[in-house]
Amino acid sequence: MTVREILADIKSDRKKKVVLDTDTFNEIDDQYALAYCYVCDKIDLVAVHAAPYFNDKSTSFEDGMLKSYNEIKKVLGLINPDYTTPVFEGSRTTVEVSGGIVDSPAARNLIEVVKNSDEIVYVLAIGAITNVISAIMMDPSIKDNMCVVWLGGNQLDSNNLGEFNLVQDFVGGQMLLNCGVPVLLCPAWFVTCVLTTNYENVCTLKGHNPLCDYLFEITDEVYHKAGARHDWIRTIWDIGAPAIIDHPDCAEIEVVPTPVFTDQRVYAFDSTRHEMLYLKSIDRDKVYAATWKALYSLDK
């Protein structure tokens, strides 16, 4: 499918097959996105893959991935103790660090899911792109039946490519934009950064169901670590990815020539390159209304 056909499909009402690729333990936003994906009527969540990350919440990329793997299972268990959605360990390092493809159960499962699907598979990548690009490099034929919705990079007119997901595996990001797979790029600054919440809003989750209580708990911890200020706000970036599938009217999406992530870590542009989808803006209020509705749907 061309990216223009994919855009039309995104805007359609049909239920979409989704693989979520997530560094779930890294922050608190992935947990919200995972729950949204699981309960959303317009998403068929066929698998969840743990993505690597390395920062002050992990001792290595492998440790970050394993912590995320366990967090995925914890969140799914809170939603439904009898969940059957398969969860796969991802890469134990990155393309940038290893210098090449990183084999993993997640990469192999992505290949299997896409090759066996009779419809396009949307890969919601809300962490480092290592699992996804490794799968594509292992079997390039899957590019024909998937679209990567990636929260990566910053606004196209920005001179700053220091966005966390991209920085975690910059070479992997370069490969993604160069390989020809259909991509919907969802920038952090100054696009998905509008997905902010405050403490008052988060408090409305408390007491609804075990998953909502857990989301409140982990957000409350961050709130108090930040000093419990009355003006505290937090961006829950990753809910943007499932929201685009669930409520495409929340998103302004353009078709643009695919840029390049240069070695100097800035964008470069060539109007002759293959096209991609680009999230120009997203409606914060629509996204939060849809997310909270999904979370409350778990009430007994």
CB-based burial, 88-115: b 16+ in 10 Å, e otherwise:
bbbbbbbbbbbeebbebbbbbbbbebbe
Greatest distance between any 2 Cα atoms in the chain? 54
Instruction: Give the pLDDT confidence of 104-159 residue by residue, as tens digits.
Output: 999 999 999 999 999 999 999 999 999 999 999 999 999 999 999 999 999 999 98
Q: Look up residue 104 and give its DSSP letter.
A: -
Q: What is the pairing mode between strands 121-125 and 16-22? A: parallel
For the segment 240-249, the average pLDDT, to the nearest whole number, is 98
Would you say 105 and 88 are in contact if contact means Cβ atoms under 8 Å apart?
A: yes
The sheet with strand 87-88 has its strands ordered as 87-88, 43-50, 16-22, 121-125, 146-151, 183-186, 275-282, 251-257
Which are the contacts of 180, defined by CB distance < 8 A and separation ≥ 6?
143, 274
Write down the pLDDT at residue 59: 98
Rounded to an integer, what distance in angstroms lies between the CA atom of residue 246 and that of residue 240? 10
For the segment 34-50, the average pLDDT, to the nearest whole number, is 98
Write down the pLDDT at residue 233: 97
Model confidence at 1, pLDDT cuts 50, 70, 90, reads confident
- pLDDT of residue 300 exceeding 90, the answer is no
Write down the pLDDT at residue 231: 95
**Which token pair is 39?**
């309960």
**Which token pair is 151?**
């929260």
Burial label, 256 (beta-carbon count in 10 A; 0-12, 13-18, 19+):
middle
For the segment 43-61, the average pLDDT, to the nearest whole number, is 98
Instruction: Give the pLDDT confidence of 162-179 residue by residue, as tens digits.
Output: 999 999 999 999 999 999
Would you say 165 and 55 are in contact if contact means Cβ atoms under 8 Å apart?
A: no
For the segment 92-99, the average pLDDT, to the nearest whole number, is 98
Rounded to an integer, what distance in angstroms lies between the CA atom of residue 104 and that of residue 21? 13
CA angle, 246 as apex, 208 and 122 as ends, to 5°?
120
Write down the pLDDT at residue 176: 98
Side chain identity at residue 116, one-letter code: N
Would you say 241 and 234 are in contact if contact means Cβ atoms under 8 Å apart?
A: no
Proportion of the chain above pLDDT 70, given as a percent: 100
- pLDDT of residue 289 exceeding 90, the answer is yes
Instruction: Give the pLDDT confidence of 3-20 residue by residue, as tens digits.
Output: 999 999 999 999 999 999
- pLDDT of residue 287 exceeding 80, the answer is yes
Model confidence at 95, pLDDT cuts 50, 70, 90, reads very high
Instruction: Give the pLDDT confidence of 227-236 residue by residue, as tens digits.
Output: 999 999 999 9
Mapping DSSP to helix (H, G, I), strand (E, B) and coil, where does residue 183 land? strand
Instruction: Give the pLDDT confidence of 194-203 residue by residue, as tens digits.
Output: 999 999 999 9
Predicted TM-score (pTM) of this structure: 0.97
Model confidence at 252, pLDDT cuts 50, 70, 90, reads very high
